[in-house]
Amino acid sequence: MRPRGFTPDGKDARMGILQDRVAVVTGSGRGLGREFALALAREGAAVVVNDLGVTLRGDSTQDDPAGQVVAEIEAAGGRAVAAYESVADFDAAGRIVATAVEQFGQIDILVNNAGIVRDRTLVKMQEEDFDAVIGTHLKGTFNLTRHAAPIMKEAGYGRILNITSSAGLRGNFGQTNYGAAKAGIMGMTFVWALELAKSGITVNALAPAGVTRMTADLSDADAVAEMPASLDPSLNAPLIAFLASEQAGHVNGQIFGRTDFSYTIFQHPKQIAWMHRDGGWDVPGVVEQFDTMLGQHLQPVGMVMPKGLSQDQARD
């Protein structure tokens, strides 16, 4: 299907909200990143499609998904170029940003989407598994933004969109590395939104939802056919396109999500209850008052009970 926004002869069917903007989308050869790149191109942006074509673990392959997405955008009348550098390498990240400037004259939009997974429980995770995931997600997001932000500041305009995850916002079993990276990305989003706003740059994040290589094995054609419509990864892209536009200049430092056919917004972590005593607390006082004053607000995470005592008994 030809991307919406272009006619079969390659001419614009309408003026997109990103006309004449230039975007870099990391990890955009497949899955969510591909949908982001296509959506930005439909809205008129020239796109640098960055993807190494690696496996989910980050191992090398002979695949060229970035080239395929570029061809798809160009066939629809858009402008795109591939970049085959690693976001985890600081200098290589600079070359990705430089590709946008060299090929299209500027960089207005950065979508930090690249990622890998190496899921293990804490006691089974190896150091290299932790470092690899942190290096791609967290450091990769820093690397690209560190190179792009000065250019955006000089231009007085920019839109930075970070991809986080519920694994970092709420936790997910077996994802110490991934959850840590995604929580860190949320933290950087808050900091950068404060630092860059005065230069006309907004920084927001999205915790997307959808079936991709990272969430399921789609090698089975039946599994693809049976995928609920609400898990289509393309459903995340319209919000990314909006946040990348001038119309979203009032949106900064926010964390968004997607559930079914809805977009959601996460409230920044905030204090929700107070446990106060004039002059401060001692240990016996905390032991006596904690459950009454703060315990009722605990999030529903697994409880660790004393030996021989069940959770039901503890509640009683």
Per-residue model confidence as pLDDT tens digits over 92-101: 999 999 999 9
Query: Does residue 157 have an active-site annotation?
Result: no
- Sheet with strand 255-259: strands edge to edge: 80-83, 46-50, 22-26, 109-112, 158-163, 201-207, 255-259, 262-266
pLDDT number for residue 37: 98
Which residue do the tokens 């002059």 mark? 279
Whether 180 maps to a domain, the answer reads yes
| 225 and 295 housed in the same domain | no
Domain limits for position 56: 22-266
| 117 and 244 housed in the same domain | yes
Distance CA 121, CA 116 (A): 16
Tell me the residue ranges of DSSP E strands in 28-171.
46-50, 80-83, 109-112, 158-163
| 221 and 310 housed in the same domain | no
| 27 and 155 housed in the same domain | yes
Distance CA 256, CA 254 (A): 6
Which of 169-173, 181-185, 298-302: highest mean pLDDT? 181-185
Whether 61 maps to a domain, the answer reads yes
Distance CA 192, CA 212 (A): 28
* Whole-structure pTM value: 0.84
**Are 159 and 243 in contact, with CB atoms under 8 Å apart?**
yes
| 299 and 181 housed in the same domain | no
Distance CA 159, CA 12 (A): 23
Distance CA 260, CA 281 (A): 45
pLDDT number for residue 1: 31
| 184 and 296 housed in the same domain | no
| Contacts for 123 with CB less than 8 Å, ≥ 6 apart | none
Q: How many residues are there in the chain? A: 316
When pLDDT is averaged across residues 138-163 and rounded to a whole number, the result is 98
Q: What is the bridge-based pairing of β-strands 158-163 and 262-266?
A: unpaired
| 128 and 164 housed in the same domain | yes
Whether 230 maps to a domain, the answer reads yes
Whether 156 maps to a domain, the answer reads yes
Tell me the residue ranges of DSSP E strands in 68-200.
80-83, 109-112, 158-163
Whether 185 maps to a domain, the answer reads yes
Distance CA 144, CA 135 (A): 12
Whether 271 maps to a domain, the answer reads no
Q: How confident is the model at residue 4 (pLDDT cuts 50, 70, 90)?
A: very low
Whether 251 maps to a domain, the answer reads yes
Of all helices (H) and strands (E), which one includes residue 17? none
| 36 and 72 housed in the same domain | yes
Count how many domains the chain has.
Answer: 2
| 114 and 83 housed in the same domain | yes
Whether 161 maps to a domain, the answer reads yes
| Cβ atoms < 10 Å from Cβ of 284 | 8
| 89 and 211 housed in the same domain | yes
| 189 and 309 housed in the same domain | no
pLDDT tens digits, 27-56 = 999 999 999 999 999 999 999 999 997 555
Which of 78-87, 261-270, 297-306: highest mean pLDDT? 78-87
Distance CA 67, CA 86 (A): 15
| 192 and 303 housed in the same domain | no
CATH code (residue 124): 3.40.50.720
pLDDT tens digits, 242-295 = 999 999 999 999 999 998 889 999 987 778 899 999 999 999 999 999 899 999
What 3-state class would DSSP assign to 273?
coil
